[in-house]
Structure 1
Amino acid sequence: MSNKPSIPKGTRDFGPQEVVKRNYIFDLIRKAFTRFGFQPIETPSFENSETLMGKYGEEGDRLIFKILNSGDFLRKVTDEELNSRNAASLTPKISEKALRYDLTVPFARFVVQHRNDIDFPFKRYQIQPVWRADRPQKGRFREFYQCDADVVGSQSLWQEVEFVQLYDAVFTNLRLRNTTIKLNNRKILSGIAEVIGAEDKLIDFTVALDKLDKIGEEKVKEEMLAKGISEDAISKVQPLFNVTGTASEKIKTLKSLLSTSEIGMKGIEELEFIVKSIDKLKLKSAKLEIDVTLARGLNYYTGAIFEVGAPPEVKMGSIGGGGRYDDLTGIFGLKDMSGVGISFGLDRIYLVMDELGLFPETVLETTKAMFVNFGEKEAMYAIRSMSALREEGIAVDLYPDSAKMGKQMGYADKRGIPYVILAGESEVKSKTYTLKNMKTGEQKTLDIDQLVSELK
């Protein structure tokens, strides 16, 4: 007996209804990107390893899927290297390519490679899958889509303000109310590390701090201690763990803590500009909140950082995030090219909307009507009529076999097709159609023009 087929952990198959719902989200996000002036690009699903490695920090590097070289991938490996079982030295010799971890680093590579063909500032959006060798759990997959928008070639903070508005516009269109856009600034985190005497531990500090919501205060402190951050330094940062209040109150706390740090005060200034601008512009669905512990453990962020939380009634991780990076393209040789971008987590947004029942019923109506098959002559009549209906933009289908009426009706019902068209011998003779509403049972006899009008 053959083994039952399966798929890798952290990946999923999508049936017709799931794909239709996902496309609904894609379409609304894509329309918002276009309205905000972004242009589409696409990059390969895999990149040269050197493009990706070292760009996401130590933890990120471990989660990159490496691709074995084609052919005899062990031909460059000595017996000594093979027996050493040293993955760090062995991997570059057997793998030269890797699946992309996100869309931002490939975008930076794209900008540098095509810089002579790009008009700056360059606003791009990209909707493609990414892969991470993460531990699968609810809302966390090894293959998932990212929907990114970035601007490179401008240091203006108005871009950050627009990204907050973009988040709000998308969540309003998706009817996702009560989302929270968390905002912080990496300069503030650098300032905190400076005033507590842990400048040389900035990465360890931010990676640990970023886990506060997931593992709690005590576990974060334990991780900081394990990374060599002193108890004295941790005690100085204690006010951050429990800071509450309005945006202005949190900024006041930060100013007090960072008064001696030039870079920290610069971060606060940038934070204030974004918050005050959004206060004047107002948001429709989302709320903007300062989160002084938000770190987002990616090394390339240098300014504002964003993270979007799902509505409180759904237990889910972040459904979006992003930030400012002042020199991401510098890693590929193009210096001083500031950029800022955000990402929408399609898969988590889907799960949230599904749990809250936010998909419109009309989304699933991929086929508007189905012709019942009464036999060869009637099927030809139906096929000719379907051509006319499809030219009018109406999605119609014909049951392929001349089966019992009950079976055909049951099929239409299971498919969620709202109308069935009966075109039997009498309808063929009179050049009419009997349209049945599957929900109400109501039937109407119509000519082709009336049928088009009714189904439209």
Structure 2
Amino acid sequence: MKPSIPKGTRDFLPHEVRRRNYIFDVIRKHFRRFGYQPIETPVMENLSTLTGKYGEEGDKLLFKVLNNGDFLRKANEQDLANRDSNKVVSQISKRGLRYDLTVPFARYVVMHQNDLSFPFKRYAIMPVWRADRPQKGRYQEFYQCDADVVGSDSLLYEAELTQLLDGVFAELGLSVVIRLNNRKILAGLAEIAGLGDRMMDMTIAIDKLDKIGADGVRKELEERGANAGAVDTVMQFLGVTDLEKVAPLLADSPVGMQGIEELRTVFDTVRQHTVSNRVEFDVTLARGLNYYTGCIYEVAVDTDVHTDVKMGSIAGGGRYADLTSIFGMKDTPGVGISFGAERIYDVLEEIDGFPADTAQDLDVLVLGLDEDSLAHGFGLVTRLRRAGHHADLYPKTTKLQKMMKYADQRNAPRVLIIGSQEVASGQYSLKTMATGEQTKVSEAELMALLG
């Protein structure tokens, strides 16, 4: 059998895992710095938990898990005969792989509300699954790195999350544009365009602007039943780039003006403190998930700095007024962000942005030239490891050239060569691989050198 893996998934080589861990470590450090606490949720959730939370498009991308055992036993024979896949799926599948980390978090909060202190700030770094068409920067299995706070409607958290986004990307050495909008502004647009009952149709179309262009959005709005006047109003609105120029257009919409005021507060708070990246208003930002109700975020690579990078959003998020109410816990507002680790990895790789030390997982590789030296080397490596150093031992004696090739393949920065003379004298040959320089060191000197 020819080995293979499902489309949209990937294997990772050791150097790729180290680079991914570098990204996770930076993000985790900032999550903890801002006071977020770690939680974990199951890979699978009940489909009743997941469906209806991600909009029409999102529900189509859910991975369903077949029921255990004879899963067709409870399927309706007539539905099977009619090949009614929607009805059959609901009968043979009660669980699904998580689509994101936010909806499971809302379920978690409701189930554990008596064990939590509110406002509750959590982070999670875990994989999610979406049955999307694989392409560059888009996979069916990928990691999300989320930070959310529930139990407060304070706009200080919107400003805080903006700072968190900025801090992570600054440390990663990646220049980005942090774009903000507010779903209430979009609700106001739907209201003045006469699309109040079709807001989701409107936001789904707007959310595709960067993929299908203005003509594509116009066509999709028309296909979703918007009349010419409504389409013209939406398209004119999308051409405004200044928050203060949007305000007069929404003067007759109370909900739209509330969105304007909320964004003003967030921008005013953020601007009182230094940020490393651009933070901008973007009226075209829609984020087509059903549960967002207030401020929404999207982060993209700053192509003015990284001119050759072509990548979609690499982080995003937003406020949800009452996501937990669908699980029976009302009046629990929240706001959160999510980093797209896979896309961040691809961008850092493209711009050669990973630190050099992510290529290494060893401090030193020890080579024994004969059996006695190999046994001596095993004892030395044991002491190095107990001292906290990353040390390894080539497991047998062979040609030095072959062992040095292995050292190169392992990206070992230093190689310690032990022969009978080194064992007798206690002075080992230490080679620095980058320069080829070779010196004699004692065990104590080696320990001090490794730090």
Provide the TM-score with structure 1 as the length reference: 0.97
Match of 1:311 among 302, 310, 318: 302
Q: What is the 5 A alignment of 1:1-20?
A: 3-20=1-18
8 A Cα contact 2:214 2:235, kept in partner = no
Match in the other structure for 1:251? 243
Q: Distance in 1 between matches of 2:96 and 2:383?
A: 49
CA apart distance, 1:77: 1.4
CA shift at 1:386, angstroms?
Answer: 1.0
- In the alignment, the residues of structure 2 paired with residue 142 and residue 74 of structure 1 have an alpha-carbon distance, to the nearest angstrom, of 26
| In 1, Cα distance between equivalents of 2:77 and 2:106 | 38
Q: After the TM superposition, which residues 303-452 of structure 1 pair with which residues of structure 2 at under 5 Å, given as runs?
A: 303-312=294-303, 313=307, 314-452=309-447
Q: Who is 2:288 aligned against?
A: 297
Aligned partner of 1:83 in structure 2 is 81
1:109-138 CA distances to partner (integer Å, 9 max, x unpaired)?
A: 000000000000000000000000000000
User: Quick check: 1:134–1:142 contact (8 Å CA) kept in 2?
Assistant: yes
CA RMSD of aligned residues (A): 0.9
1:182/1:289 contact within 8 Å kept: yes
My pick for the range that moved more, 194-203 or 370-379, is 370-379
Question: Matches of residues 173-192 of structure 1 in structure 2 within 5 Å?
Answer: 173-177=171-175, 179-192=176-189
Corresponding residue number in structure 2 for 1:247: none
SS class of match (1:197)? coil
CA contact (8 A) 1:369 1:418 kept: yes
CA drift at 1:34 = 0.3
Q: Give the deviation of 1:186 after TM superposition.
A: 0.3
CA distance in 1, matches of 2:233, 2:440: 80
- Which of 262, 270, 273 pairs up with 1:281? 273
Separation (CA, whole Å) in 1 of partners of 2:59 and 2:158? 28
- Amino acid aligned to 1:289: E
Q: 1:79 deviation in Å? A: 2.1
User: What amino acid maps onto 2:346 in structure 1?
Assistant: L
Distance 1:350 1:81 in 2: 45
Give a deviation string over 1:168-211, Cα, whole Å, max 9, x none. 1101111112x001100000000000011110110000000111
Q: Do the aligned partners of 1:217 and 1:241 also contact (CA within 8 Å) in 2?
A: no
Query: How far apart, CA to CA, are the structure 2 residues paired with 1:43 and 1:380?
Result: 46
The within-5 A match list for 1:44-55 is: 44-55=42-53
- Counterpart among 212, 216, 222 of residue 215 in structure 1: 212
The alpha carbon displacement at 1:392 in A equals 2.0
- SS at 2:368's partner residue? coil
d(CA) in 2 for partners of 1:133 and 1:71?
A: 24
Q: Deviations over 1:371-392 (max 9, x none)?
A: 1122221111111111221122
| Rounded Cα–Cα distance in structure 1 between residues aligned with 2:231 and 2:47 | 37
Q: Secondary structure at the match of 1:204?
A: helix
- Of 222, 225, 233, the residue aligned with 2:222 is 225
In the other structure, the counterpart of 1:149 is 147
Q: How far does residue 311 in structure 1 lie from its aligned partner after superposition? A: 2.9
Whole-Å separation in 1 of the counterparts to 2:344 and 2:237: 29
* Counterpart pick for 1:237 among 234, 238, 246: 234
After TM superposition, the structure 1 stretch with the greater mean CA deviation from structure 2, 23-32 or 76-85, is 76-85
Match of 2:122 in 1: 124
* Structure 2 CA distance for aligned equivalents of residues 265 and 158 of structure 1: 19
Distance 2:387 2:165 in 1: 35
Q: Is the 8 A contact 2:218 2:235 kept in 1?
A: no
Amino acid at match of 1:377: D
> Which residue identity lines up with residue 224 of structure 1 in the other structure?
L
Deviations 1:39-84 (A, max 9, x none): 0000000001100011111111100000001110000113211011
Secondary structure of 2:314's counterpart equals strand
Question: For the Cα contact (< 8 Å) 2:127–2:143, is it kept in 1?
Answer: yes
Q: Contact 2:370/2:397 (CA < 8 Å) preserved in 1?
A: yes
**Counterpart Cα distance in 1 of 2:254 and 2:4:** 55
Distance 2:93 2:405 in 1: 53
Given residue 111 of structure 1, which amino acid in structure 2 is its aligned partner?
Answer: V
The code of the aligned residue for 1:61 comes to D
> Which secondary structure state, in structure 2, belongs to the residue aligned with residue 135 of structure 1?
coil
Q: Deviations over 1:276-331 (max 9, x none)?
A: 111111202x2111110110000000000000002312100100000000000000
Per the TM alignment, residue 153 of structure 1 is displaced from its structure 2 partner at its CA by 0.2
Amino acid at match of 2:321: D
Distance 2:448 2:116 in 1: 47
- Secondary structure at the residue paired with 1:237? helix
Contiguous gaps of at least 5 residues in structure 1:
245-249
1-structure distance, mates of 2:450, 2:257: 62
How many residue pairs get matched?
Answer: 447
Distance 2:428 2:192 in 1: 79
Gapped regions of structure 2 (runs ≥ 5): none
CA contact (8 A) 2:67 2:92 kept: yes
Q: Does 1:271 align with 2:285?
A: no
Shift of 1:432: 2.2
**TM superposition score normalised by structure 2:** 0.98
Distance in 2 separating the partners of 1:259 and 1:128: 43
Give the secondary-structure state (helix, strand or coil) at the position aligned to 2:272. helix
Give the match for residue 203 of structure 1.
200
SS at match of 1:329: helix
Q: Do the aligned residues in 1 keep the contact of 2:413 with 2:433 (CA within 8 Å)?
A: yes
